[in-house]
């Protein structure tokens, strides 16, 4: 076990290095002269030269990569051109919004998605299964931003129950904070619930078909114990692996939904950065998210090995 854990942690080191190089390449691979692209077509030669010098683009590529790594080791993830601010502080200001959105959405997704999947598997091939799976299928097929606009029209404009857009921080007013995030979080959950329900159903079907569940029933355990304790706990192992994917799609989905609901989060920052050609900002945010998910995926992997004693490969 400890050997397996060591191997997994050691594997994450090269992944972090490659993530850094990929983020570095994002600017250096810009077609044409990156300095011209960043400064804009109308910029004077002097302005272009200044951008080139500021970003260190006038140095050889290998030297640039070296400087990039030195900066990363110093905790310097670059600076935004449009905000005159370091990427870390720009992201730090907006991260609470994105994290509240992702956390609320996962809080809704986990119980609903798992319950739906278990119910569908238990009542397989009945109308309950068909209904739940049709809804789950629509959840993974409908574009979230489109449903989100429709929901704004219905709940915000027509019924006037919820604000149509904008964000209120938690501290002055938790109620308004929740109201500003209810709709975005629910919209973010639609895909996630569908995904988790489909996955849970398959995992449960597999577990329910196992001999040990038949044995549990045969030795007279109650249906609740046979399904809840024996089958579900085995399905749970596969559900845990879904959490990494859910977090990743939640962050990806927040990019689009923050735009729809005008929430001042990291996703909106990235989109603004791209439209303003603020490549160092985009690079920095991708790098930080990349690092975060290397760690999250590692944690999920380790959790998986702890939960399933049968995993013994290395």
Partner 1 sequence: MTDLAVGAVAGTLAPRRRFVLLRRLAAHRSFQIGLVLVLLLALAAIFAPFLTSVDPSAMKVRFRFRPPSAAFPFGTDNFGRDIFTRVLYGARVSLWIGLVVAISTGVIGAAIGVVAAQFPRLDPYLMRCMDALMSFPAILLALGVTAALGPRMESVIIALAVAYVPAGARIVRASALVVRELDYIAAARIAGASNFRIMIRHILPNSVSPLLVHVTFVFAYAILAEAALSFLGVGVPPPTASWGNIIAEGRDYATEAWWVMLFPGLGITLSALGLNLLGDGLRDVLDPRLNWRG
Which residues lie near partner 1 (CB under 8 A)?
11, 14-15, 18-19, 22, 26-27, 29-31, 137-138, 140-143, 145-147, 149-150, 152-153, 157, 195-196, 198-199, 202-203, 205-206, 238, 242, 248-249, 251-253, 255-256, 259, 270-271, 274-275, 279, 282-283, 285-286, 289-291, 293-294, 297
Please identify, using beta-carbon distances, which residue of 134 and 173 lies nearer to partner 1.
134
Q: Nearest distance from residue 100's CB to partner 1, in Å? A: 17
Closest CB to partner 1 among 176 and 243?
243
Q: Where are the beta strands (DSSP E) in 64-115?
A: 79-80, 85-86
Nearer to partner 1, 178 or 205 (CB): 205
d(CA 304, CA 297): 10
Beta bridge partners of 85: 80
Within a 10 A sphere around the Cβ of 270, how many other Cβ atoms? 22
What's the min distance (Å) between Cβ of 205 and partner 1?
7
Distance from C-alpha of 34 to C-alpha of 229, rounded to nearest angstrom: 58
Q: How many CB atoms lie within 10 A of CB 178?
A: 14
- Residue 67 or 140: which CB sits closer to partner 1? 140
> Which C-beta is closer to partner 1: that of 46 or that of 275?
275
Q: Within 10 A of 226 (CB to CB), how many other CB atoms are there? A: 21
Distance in angstroms (rounded) separating the CA atoms of residues 88 and 77: 7
Find the shortest distance in angstroms from Cβ 13 to partner 1. Answer: 9
CB of 162 to partner 1, least distance (A): 15
In the complex, least distance from residue 59 CB atom to partner 1, rounded to whole angstroms = 20
Q: How far is the CB of 309 from partner 1 (least distance, A)?
A: 19
Q: HSE-up of 49 (CA within 13 Å, CB side)?
A: 3
Cα-based torsion angle of the residue sequence 249, 250, 255, 260 in order, rounded to the nearest 10 degrees: 120
> In the complex with partner 1, which residue's Cβ is closer, 13 or 218?
13
Rounded CA Rg of the chain? 24
Are 58 and 33 a contacting pair, CB within 8 Å?
no
Residues facing residue 79 across a β-bridge: 86
């Amino acid at each position: 076990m400890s050997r397996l854990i060591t191997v997994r942690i050691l594997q994450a080191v090269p992944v972090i290095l490659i993530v850094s190089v990929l983020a570095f390449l994002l600017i250096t691979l810009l077609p044409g002269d990156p300095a011209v692209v960043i400064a804009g077509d109308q910029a004077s030669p002097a302005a272009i030269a200044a951008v080139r010098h500021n970003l260190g683009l006038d140095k050889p590529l290998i030297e640039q990569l070296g400087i990039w790594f030195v900066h990363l080791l110093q905790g310097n993830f670059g600076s935004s051109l449009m905000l005159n601010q370091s990427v870390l502080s720009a992201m730090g200001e907006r991260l609470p919004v994105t994290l509240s959105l992702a956390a609320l959405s996962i809080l809704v997704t986990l119980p609903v998605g798992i319950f739906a999947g278990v119910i569908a598997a238990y009542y397989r091939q009945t109308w309950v299964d068909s209904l739940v799976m049709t809804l789950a299928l629509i959840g993974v097929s409908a574009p979230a931003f489109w449903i989100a606009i429709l929901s704004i029209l219905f709940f915000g404009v027509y019924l006037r129950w919820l604000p149509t857009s904008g964000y209120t921080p938690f501290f002055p007013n938790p109620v308004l904070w929740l109201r500003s995030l209810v709709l975005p979080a629910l919209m973010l959950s639609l895909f996630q619930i569908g995904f988790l329900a489909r996955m849970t159903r398959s995992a449960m079907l597999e577990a329910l078909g196992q001999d040990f569940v038949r044995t549990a029933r045969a030795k007279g355990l109650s249906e609740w114990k046979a399904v809840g304790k024996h089958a579900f706990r085995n399905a749970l192992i596969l559900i845990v692996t879904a959490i990494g994917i859910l977090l990743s799609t939640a962050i990806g989905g927040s990019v689009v939904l923050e735009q729809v609901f005008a929430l001042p989060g990291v996703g909106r920052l990235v989109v603004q950065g791209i439209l303003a050609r603020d490549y160092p900002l985009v690079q920095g945010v991708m790098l930080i998210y990349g690092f975060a998910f290397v760690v999250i995926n590692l944690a999920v992997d380790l959790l998986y090995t702890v939960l399933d004693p049968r995993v013994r490969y290395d």
